[in-house]
Chains A and B, each alone.
Chain A
Amino acid sequence: MIETENLTKKFGDLTAVDGITLKVEEGEVFGFLGPNGAGKTTTVRMLCCLISKTSGEARIAGYEVGKDADSLKIRKLIGLVPDNVGLYDDLSAYENLDFYGKLYDCTEAQRKENIQRFLTMLGLLEKKDVAAGTFSKGMKQKLAIARALIHDPQVLFMDEPTVNLDPESSKTVRDFILDLKKEKRTIFLNTHNLDEAQRVCDKIAILNTKLMVMGTPEELERSVSGRKTVIQVEKASDAIQAALRKLPLGNMVIDGNRLTIDVTDPEKENATVVDAIVRAGGHVQSVTVVGSTLEDAYLKLVRQAK
């Protein structure tokens, strides 16, 4: 659905986005992570045909980004939730959505139906005639999402949709993204929030001007060594220690009856470790995986880039 090849954007001497190549399949939620100034918003603006690319190629649903004839077609099949909601404060929620519906050539019936549907899904229906300027940040963000969906776009670009929101509003937005995922919409999600990315994204890319890495959240976690399994046993006997040392594991630290073992793939290795302990006559009280997470992967890659 979204494809880029060596997509680059320069502002004078400054390279904001440096040759990124990525592919987002239809119905996928794609998380685009990166620190401030990494080029996430610039990438979204290029893909939404808001700014030109300097070089490289990008296509959305087969239409070429940067080609004048395709720009309007691309903008018609995408929806954008920008980092600033940019609502018309003097207009009501309904009027805001109705205006955008008209710009997307929706019929009156379509506009009415979609406004009703999305305001209901986002819990704003009761406020439909209230001026958007009186809304809380969370309500404004939800209204901005409804605005981006008013024409039923195939692709939705969301730039930091939960930034500055309280935990409850963030959860509502995240749950809504998951609802959209069920509807097989393709979602391109710019975010700083690693937890959010892990919860909702099928695939994640980490950007720091250049594309550092791309994969599923699990693949990214696995890509970073340093995960640890902490096993609490009733008694860390010599037999247990000897049995574990025979296994092809990483470093093991014994602290009383707590064993901390470096592992690369805890899902596979933990079963072997527990089995070895039980065979050596030990009693396992708890098994906990700690250490490298998506956050570790992110921080490691961003620090490497510096």
Chain B
Amino acid sequence: MRLSKSWVIALKDFKVFRRKKNVIYSIIAFPLIISIIIPIVVEYAGHRNGASGIPAAQLLVLLPAFIFYFLIIAAYLPTPIASYSLVGEKVEKSLEPLLATPTTDDEILLGKGIAAFLPPLGAALGGATIFMVLIDLVTFDKLGYYYFPDWNTGVVLLLMVPLAAIMSVEVNVIISSRVSDVRAAQQLGVLMVLPFAGIYVAGELNIIPLSSTNNLLIISGVLLAADLLLLYVARATFRREEILTKWK
């Protein structure tokens, strides 16, 4: 496999996305809003009746949970890009000339994957960085130390977030083979947030304690296994004969 071919395809997709303002807004707006709104809430909540804001003990419960929002964001963000990248090409019938070039199916799939993976990952990690900096600024007085980053956050952001984004890209490839409308692909793609929302809820209900680094690593392992399985399915789906004769 020649990475240079995949990179050419990814760069072309980046160029196309730059001209689709709705895609750019959906990638930037969501993480940016979360990363700014939560610190504002943390700063100004709990000041009624002369109280001095959220107590430090409560912050220590809330802050690690907030970081999981970025996991959910990472699972959602590839959807608008992947749906344009694959279903959009299918609708515009631009896949056939692309498939007629001397590139392999895997090179095209990887190129599409990079295009759908890197911007959301950058947006999720960028948003998380802004979030951590702002949270540290607004909680330092109460905690007496900078809460972020810590090891668990590192596992979530550097391991679970990329794995969630990869999973989302793979699921979107599979969805793309079955739908012929960008909006339908986006609606189905949004369902990707459900398992990650489930992890968050399970953590909040203490069914899976997410403060344990071991638990986070186990979840990462499960995500990795799921990614590999979905990669197999996505590669089987993204075969030029399938695309030209069976994709709806």
Contacts and interface: CB of A to CB of B under 8 A. Distances in A.
Interface of A: 11, 45, 48, 50-52, 72-73, 75-76, 78, 80, 82, 84-91, 95, 99-100, 102-105, 144, 147-148
B225 interface: no
Contacts of B94: 86-88
Contacts of A80: 96-97, 100
Given A72-B102, A103-B5, A82 B20 contact: no
Interface stretch (B11-19, B61-69, B121-129): B11-19
Given A50-B100, A102-B8, A104-B102, A90 B241 contact: no
Interface size grouping (class) on chain B: 20 to 34
B102 A82 contact: no
Given A75-B102, A100-B97, A51 B12 contact: no
A89 B240 CA distance: 22
A102 B8 CA distance: 7
Given A11-B245, A45-B244, A82 B93 contact: yes
A67 to B, nearest CB: 15
B193 interface: no
Interface of B: 5, 8-9, 12, 15-16, 19-20, 92-104, 240-241, 244-245
B92 A48 contact: no
Q: Which of B15, B92, B93, B100 has the most CB of A within 10 A?
A: B100
B240 to A, nearest CB: 6
Contacts of A51: 240-241, 244-245
21 contacts: A11-B245, A50-B241, A51-B240, A51-B241, A72-B102, A72-B104, A75-B100, A82-B96, A84-B96, A86-B96, A86-B97, A87-B92, A88-B12, A88-B16, A88-B92, A91-B12, A99-B8, A99-B12, A103-B9, A103-B98, A148-B97
A284 B209 CA distance: 105
B93 A84 contact: yes
A52 B246 CA distance: 13
A188 B12 CA distance: 29
Residue among A75, A84, A103 with max Cβ neighbours from chain B (10 Å) = A103
A85 B241 contact: no
Nearest to B99: A50
Contacts of A102: 8
**Lowest 9 A-B CB distances belong to which pairs?**
A84-B93, A86-B94, A80-B100, A86-B93, A76-B102, A103-B101, A75-B102, A90-B19, A82-B96
B199 to A, nearest CB: 36
Contacts of A73: 102
A103 B103 contact: yes
A103 B240 contact: no
B102 A50 contact: no
Contacts of B9: 103
Contacts of B99: 50
A48 B97 CA distance: 10
Contacts of B5: 103
Nearest to A159: B96
Given A51-B245, A90-B16, A102-B8, A75 B92 contact: no
B241 A91 contact: no
A91 B244 contact: no
Nearest to B241: A51
Contacts of A52: 241
A89 B104 CA distance: 24
Contacts of A103: 5, 8-9, 98, 101-103
Nearest to B101: A103
A87 B20 CA distance: 16
A85 B101 contact: no
Contacts of B101: 75, 100, 103-104
Contact of B92 (A72, A89, A105): A89
Pick the most buried of A45, A52, A82, A86: most chain B CB atoms within 10 A of its CB: A86
Nearest to A84: B93
A218 B15 CA distance: 50
Contacts of B95: 86
A179 to B, nearest CB: 21
A220 to B, nearest CB: 30
Contacts of B98: 86, 103
A149 to B, nearest CB: 12
B223 to A, nearest CB: 33
B114 to A, nearest CB: 15
A104 B9 CA distance: 12
Given A50-B244, A86-B92, 5 more contacts: A51-B245, A80-B96, A88-B92, A90-B19, A99-B8
A237 B8 CA distance: 79
Contacts of B100: 48, 50, 75, 78, 80, 82
A78 B27 CA distance: 39
